[in-house]
């Protein structure tokens, strides 16, 4: 346990340093978030954290990937890590082992392929367990129909992993090239310029039989688990950006002088910062617990879902409050484009909706009370 | 009472506590304690302490050599099972087993520990004599004086908001021993026998109508020098060091109580049919609020465990105690307010709540009014936010603050 904690602490320190550097460089050029070179991530061995060692991975767990998610949020980094690594590797790990699957995992680890997992529309919990696509048999073979919107990192993906209802109705994963006829991937620009979302639609796209991959266990349970994993990953991102906003605000409140004293000495400002810290501490507890549950894979799926919903709703609500308060406490400068606070606020509002709004997650929790 | 901290060991322990609760939690205690007289309340509290002590459940957070020694994981199990069984709470002994004990263990002499820790288990009741009429949030400006005369101190002054004062055997007393020193450097910490001549206690009736608090008048009270705890004039530092540290321990129990009995009671009141035949819980807005509370309580419970573990590992943060106190007290206030609104006017007809119950007893309107007993004493929410800002975030102090 403590050894794992040490490993994660070290990973966190390295990630903060590496992303912080690219953040400074990136922000000077564009106050719209910073680009992270994919080769840097590959070089740091972060692409294969959850991949088995024999495929070139680090044989670690979701807990380590969660550290990277949190640090990407802290740095408001522009990176397809969520779609290409957290969700895609998570998806592939739920599948029956096969040579094709293993080859794709190795290619992801090496940074050679940047895929995206299309598990549902990015704004919903409603679709949980209900595949957005379906396979239909035609004379020429299986074809794909369906649609999913707001899919993280789909527009730039080199390969897509689509959750589809197989011909027997059970969910399967269809691997496809985004450029095949009948498949369309359209970028959906959003206010948060650090994220790339896409609309994926299929109208009779041809699917080769060796690209239809079966889940290793209960396919519906697995697809629900993947959405919980997605929700927790986004909660980590929001937690990281919340901490960055609190740190920036506290730093500013210590040096900004008005009425002849630092504004941080005024109770109105000090108490607002205290409330930000309290919210972060609570969110961190819930996120840590959810990460542990997703990573351990020991508890019942229902317990993991509860922890995921609590973490997602708490951390993502908190992040919007905190980024909003950060803008407020920075005063006029906080509202400028140049300050960059809007970048965090926009990411926070996007995160809040991705993979289930707080209200949707609370609805899921409340379904247990009846 | 220690069990292996394995999952199996904990499960076994949970079953043992569960069974113990079934056999020992007095049935109908809630009804009996509703509207109970002072004597009935005190004797019930004493009997319950003796029951818990016999089982090894009274002071799980104390060191093993004094009768405790449970791991954090075991304490969580113990408190959650007691709460799930809707067991009475130790209220009269709260200051004794938490504040007095942690002060003795941290700063007491071996003689002081030997004199008091076993006595606390036998039912010795303690009260905190900190606040004064002119020293509330600005506690360090307290004026009660202790003048050294030979091997004793002569104490004069007035203490306020002393919880349980009328039942107390002993008092944790802060008094000024050096009026010339800066205010935080001239205070000493004493153990005061409440039977000493010159000690006069008068109850204060509080907003709920009950009288849990008292005023303590001290007139030429003689305290032997052997009852000084910590060095002379270092009382403020001793109090700071010991009182924050035990916050996590007290919160562990309160958070489990909120998470088990409290939340369950809230769901129950939301599930009752109103006069129109509708159940509040079928309303999406109510569901959303309930899920929000369940989430907040889960966060609080996890935070309490982390804080206790951090404390044991010696890595507590300077604002941890304030963070958990602030969050708990405001959550309690929000939750009881919600329960009261769900309960409607009917809960405002409940004119007294069961004694010995938790802060969320189910008499929601009184619980709501009583929640200010959390947001005001022990450092108001405003003081906690200032501490979090200054110690936790290192924001600059207010220029006027001394």
Residue in the structure block whose two tokens are 């992801």: A108
What's the confidence (pLDDT) of residue B94?
Answer: 93
Residues B307 and B328 in one domain: yes
What are the beta bridge partners of residue A163? Answer: A173
Residue A13's pLDDT band (cuts 50, 70, 90): very high
Give residue-wise pLDDT tens across range B33-74.
Answer: 998 999 999 999 999 999 999 999 999 999 999 999 999 899
Supply the ipTM of this predicted assembly: 0.94
CATH code (residue B219): 2.40.110.10
| Cα of B105 to nearest chain A Cα, Å | 29
Q: Within 10 A of A297 (CB to CB), how many other CB atoms are there?
A: 11
Does B261 share its domain with B222?
no
Fold of A219-366: Butyryl-CoA Dehydrogenase, subunit A; domain 3 (1.20.140)
Q: What is the mean pLDDT of chain A?
A: 92
- The answer, yes or no, to whether residue B128 has pLDDT greater than 50, is yes
Give the burial class of B315: count Cβ atoms within 10 A of its Cβ; 0-12 exposed, 13-18 middle, 19 or more buried: exposed
pLDDT over 90 at A4, yes or no: no
Contact A232, A66 (CB under 8 A): yes
B199 touches B218 (CB < 8 A): yes
Domain match, B336 and B262 both: yes
Mean pLDDT, range B255-261, rounded to an integer: 92
Is residue B117 assigned to a domain?
Answer: no
Same-domain status, B204 and B70 = no
Q: Which of B38, B65, B91 is the last residue of a domain?
A: B91
- In this predicted model, what pLDDT tens digit does every residue of A15-47 receive, in sequence order? 998 888 754 444 433 445 567 889 889 989 999
Summarize pLDDT for A180-227 with one digit per residue, the tens: 999 999 999 999 999 999 999 999 999 999 999 999 999 999 989 999
CATH number for the domain whose boundaries are A2-114: 1.10.540.10
The CA distance from A292 to the nearest CA of chain B, in Å, is 13
In the predicted model, is pLDDT for residue B266 greater than 90? yes
User: How confident is the model at residue A27, as a pLDDT?
Assistant: 43
Classify residue B16 as exposed, middle or buried by CB count within 10 Å of its CB (0-12, 13-18, 19+): middle
Beta carbons of B327 and A274 less than 8 Å apart? no
Dihedral angle, C-alpha B140, B146, B148, B149, nearest 10 °: 170
What is the rounded distance in angstroms from the CA atom of residue A73 to the CA atom of residue A234? 9
Contact between residue B393 and residue A249 where contact means Cβ atoms under 8 Å apart: no
CA–CA separation, B142 and B174 (whole Å): 8
Number of independent structural domains in chain B: 3
- Residue B98 in any domain: the answer is no
B269 and B229 fall within a common domain: no
- Best residue in A257, A278, A370 to probe B by mutation, most B CBs within 10 Å? A278
SS (H, E, C) chain A: CHHHHHHHHHHHHHHHHHHHHHHHHHHHHCCCCEECCHHHHHHCCCCCCCCCHHHCCCCCCHHHHHHHHHHHHHCCEECCHHHHHHHHHHHHHCECCCHHHHHHHHHHHHCCCCEEEECCCCCCCCCCCCCCEEEEEECCEEEEEEEEEEEECCCCCCEEEEEEECCCCCEEEEEECCCCCCEEEEECCCCCCCCCEEEEEEEEEECCHHHEECECCCHHHHHHHHHHHHHHHHHHHHHHHHHHHHHHHHHHHHHCEECCEEHHHCHHHHHHHHHHHHHHHHHHHHHHHHHHHHHHCCCCHHHHHHHHHHHHHHHHHHHHHHHHHHHHHCHHHHHCCCCCHHHHHHHHHHHHHCCCCHHHHHHHHHCCCC
Q: Which of A11-20, A80-89, A123-132, B60-69 has the lowest mean pLDDT?
A: A123-132
Confirm whether B102 is domain-assigned: no
Between helix B247-257 and helix B72-84 the angle, nearest 10°, is 40
Q: What is the reported pLDDT for A30?
A: 44
**Predicted local confidence at residue A266, as pLDDT:** 97
Strands (E), B187-261: 187-193, 199-204, 213-224
Q: Are residues B254 and B307 in the same domain?
A: yes
pLDDT of residue A336: 96
The pLDDT of residue B402 is 47
- For residue A140, the model assigns a pLDDT of 83
| Active-site pick, B246, B256, B360, B373 | B246
Instruction: Please give the average per-residue pLDDT across B364-379, as a whole number.
Output: 94
The whole-angstrom distance between B270's CA and the closest CA on chain A is: 10
pLDDT at A67: 97
Q: Reply yes or no on whether the pLDDT at A70 is more than 80.
A: yes
Task: Tell me the count of A-B CB pairs closer than 8 A.
Answer: 114
B396/A289 touch (CB, cutoff 8 Å), yes or no: no
Q: State the pLDDT at residue A37.
A: 86
Give pLDDT tens digits for B87-126: 999 999 999 999 999 999 999 999 999 999 999 999 999 9
User: Tell me, what's the pLDDT at B245?
Assistant: 61
Which residue has better confidence, B369 or A19? Answer: B369
Domain that holds residue B225: 125-233
Confidence of residue B400 (pLDDT cuts 50, 70, 90): low
pLDDT given at position B240: 84
Q: Please report the pLDDT score of residue A241 as a whole number.
A: 97
Q: Is the pLDDT of residue B280 over 90?
A: yes
Choose, out of A259, A273, A362, A364, the residue to mutate when testing the contact with B (most B CBs < 10 Å): A362
Q: Do both B141 and B265 map to the same domain?
A: no
Do residue B129 and residue B82 come from a single domain? Answer: no
Same domain, B287 and B375: yes
- With a cut of 70, say whether residue A128 has pLDDT above it: no
- Give the C-alpha separation, A111 to A85, whole Å: 10
| Alpha-carbon separation of residue A68 from A61, A62, A72, A265 (angstroms) | 12, 10, 6, 34
The arithmetic mean of pLDDT across residues A87-92, rounded, is 98
| The domain boundary residue, chosen from B91, B112, B136 | B91
pLDDT of the residue at A29:
39
Angle CA(A271)–CA(A273)–CA(A275) in degrees, nearest 5?
Answer: 70
Q: Do B139 and B79 belong together in one domain?
A: no
Query: Which residues in chain A touch residue B294, judged by CB atoms under 8 angstroms apart?
Result: 310, 365
Provide the pLDDT for residue B2: 46
Task: List the CATH code of the domain at A118-213.
Answer: 2.40.110.10
- Pick the residue with more confidence: A70 or B136? A70
Domain's final residue, options B203, B233, B263: B233
Domain with CATH 2.40.110.10 in chain A: 118-213
CB of A249 less than 8 A from some CB of B: no
Are B217 and B281 found together in one domain?
A: no
Q: Would you call A310 an interface residue with chain B, using a CB distance cutoff of 8 Å?
A: yes
In a domain, residue B111? The reply is no
Which of B302, B303, B395 lies nearest to residue A270, judging by beta carbons? B395
Helices (H), B38-136: 38-55, 72-84, 94, 101-107, 110-121
CB-CB: which of A273, A282, A289 is closest to B389?
Answer: A273
**For residue B6, what is the DSSP state?**
S
Q: Quick check: A115 and A176 in contact, CB under 8 A?
A: no
| Confidence band of A369 (pLDDT split at 50, 70, 90) | very high
pLDDT of residue B145: 97
Predicted model pTM:
0.94
Q: What average pLDDT does range B185-202 have in this prediction? A: 97
Mean local confidence (pLDDT), A258-277: 97
Taking 60 as the threshold, does the pLDDT of residue B248 lie above it? yes
Is there a domain that residue B277 lies in?
yes
- Pick from B267, B294, B385: which is nearest to A271 by CB? B385
Residues of chain A in contact with residue B386, where contact means CB-CB under 8 angstroms, are 267, 270-271, 274
In this complex, do A286 and B302 lie within 8 Å of one another by their Cβ atoms?
yes
Q: Which residues of B touch A309 (CB under 8 A)?
A: 291, 295
Environment class of B192 (CB within 10 Å of its CB; exposed 0-12, middle 13-18, buried 19+): buried
Mutate to test the interface with B, among A239, A314, A316, A369 (most CBs of B within 10 A): A369
Say which of B270, B284, B386 has its CB closest to residue A270.
Answer: B386
Whether residue B145 is found in the same domain as residue B182? yes
β-bridge mates for residue A135, sequence order: A144
Q: What's the pLDDT score for residue B1?
A: 40
Please answer yes or no on whether B399 and A283 come within 8 Å at the CB atom.
no
B99 located within any domain: no
**Cross-chain CB nearest to B395 (options A254, A275, A363):** A254
Active site residue B246: yes
Intervals of CATH 1.20.140.10 along chain A = 219-366
User: What is the rounded average pLDDT for all residues in chain B?
Assistant: 93
């Amino acid at each position: 346990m403590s050894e794992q904690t040490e490993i994660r602490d070290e990973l966190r320190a390295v990630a903060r340093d590496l992303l912080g550097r690219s953040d400074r460089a990136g922000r000077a050029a564009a106050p719209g978030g910073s680009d992270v070179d994919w080769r840097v991530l590959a070089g740091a061995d972060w692409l294969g954290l959850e991949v088995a060692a024999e495929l070139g991975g680090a044989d670690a767990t979701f807990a380590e990937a969660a550290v990277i998610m949190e640090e990407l949020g802290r740095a408001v980094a522009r990176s397809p890590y969520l779609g290409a690594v957290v969700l895609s590797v998570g998806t592939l790990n739920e599948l029956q082992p096969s040579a094709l699957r293993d080859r794709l995992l190795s290619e992801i680890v090496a940074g050679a392929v940047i895929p995206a997992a299309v598990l549902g529309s990015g704004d919903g919990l409603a679709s949980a367990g209900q595949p957005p696509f379906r396979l239909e048999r035609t004379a020429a073979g299986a074809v794909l129909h369906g649609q999913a919107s707001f899919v993280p990192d789909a527009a730039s993906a080199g390969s897509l992993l689509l959750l589809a209802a197989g011909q027997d109705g059970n969910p399967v994963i269809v691997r496809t090239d985004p450029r095949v006829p009948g498949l369309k991937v359209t970028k959906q620009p959003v206010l948060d310029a650090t994220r790339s979302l896409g609309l994926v639609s299929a109208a009779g796209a041809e699917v080769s039989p060796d690209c239809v991959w079966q889940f290793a266990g209960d396919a519906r349970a697995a697809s629900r688990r993947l959405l919980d994993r997605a929700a927790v990953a986004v909660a980590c991102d929001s937690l990281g950006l919340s901490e960055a906003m609190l740190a920036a605000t506290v730093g500013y409140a210590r040096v900004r002088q008005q009425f002849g004293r630092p504004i941080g000495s005024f109770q109105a400002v000090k108490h607002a910062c205290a409330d930000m810290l309290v919210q972060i501490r609570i969110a961190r507890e819930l996120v840590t617990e959810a990460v542990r549950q997703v990573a351990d894979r020991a508890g019942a799926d229902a317990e993991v879902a509860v922890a995921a919903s609590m973490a997602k709703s708490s951390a993502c609500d908190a992040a919007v409050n905190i980024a909003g308060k950060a803008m407020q406490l920075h005063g006029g400068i906080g509202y400028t484009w140049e300050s960059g606070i809007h970048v965090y606020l926009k990411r926070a509002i996007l995160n809040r909706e991705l993979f289930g709004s707080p209200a949707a997650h609370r609805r899921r929790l409340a379904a247990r009370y009846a | 009472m220690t069990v292996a901290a394995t999952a199996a060991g904990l499960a076994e322990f949970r079953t043992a506590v569960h069974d113990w609760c079934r056999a020992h939690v007095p049935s109908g205690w809630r009804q009996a304690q509703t509207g109970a007289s002072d004597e009935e309340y005190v004797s019930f509290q004493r009997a319950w302490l003796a029951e818990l002590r016999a089982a090894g459940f009274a002071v799980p957070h104390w060191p093993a050599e004094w009768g405790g020694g449970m791991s954090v994981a075991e304490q969580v199990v113990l408190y959650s099972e007691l709460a799930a069984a809707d067991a009475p709470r130790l209220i009269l002994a709260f200051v004794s087993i938490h504040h007095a004990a942690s002060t003795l263990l941290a700063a007491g002499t071996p003689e002081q520990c030997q004199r008091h820790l076993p006595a606390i288990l036998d039912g010795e009741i303690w009260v905190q004599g900190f606040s004064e009429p002119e020293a509330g949030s600005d506690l360090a400006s307290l004026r009660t004086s202790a003048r050294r005369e030979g091997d004793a101190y002569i104490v004069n002054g007035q203490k306020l908001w002393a919880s349980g004062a009328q039942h107390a055997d002993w008092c944790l007393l802060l008094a000024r021993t050096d009026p010339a020193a800066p205010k935080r450097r001239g205070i000493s910490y004493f153990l005061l026998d409440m039977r000493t001549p010159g000690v006069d206690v008068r109850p204060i009736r509080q907003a709920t109508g009950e009288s849990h608090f008292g005023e303590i008048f001290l007139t030429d009270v003689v305290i032997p020098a052997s009852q000084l705890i910590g060095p002379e004039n270092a009382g403020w530092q001793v109090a700071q060091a010991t009182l924050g540290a035990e916050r996590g321990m007290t919160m562990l129990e309160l958070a489990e109580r909120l998470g088990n009995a409290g939340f369950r009671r809230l769901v129950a009141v939301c599930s009752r049919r109103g006069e129109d035949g509708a159940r509040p819980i079928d309303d999406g807005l109510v569901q959303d609020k309930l899920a929000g509370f369940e989430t907040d309580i889960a966060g609080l419970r996890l935070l309490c465990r982390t804080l206790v573990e951090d404390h044991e590992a010696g890595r507590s943060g300077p604002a941890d105690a304030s963070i958990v106190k602030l969050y708990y007290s405001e959550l309690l206030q929000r939750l009881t307010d919600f329960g009261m609104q769900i309960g409607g006017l009917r809960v405002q007809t409940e004119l007294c709540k069961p004694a010995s119950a938790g802060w969320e007893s189910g008499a929601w309107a009184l619980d709501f009014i009583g929640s200010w007993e959390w947001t005001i004493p022990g450092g108001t929410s405003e003081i906690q936010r200032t501490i979090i800002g200054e110690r936790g975030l290192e924001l600059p102090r207010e220029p006027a603050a001394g």
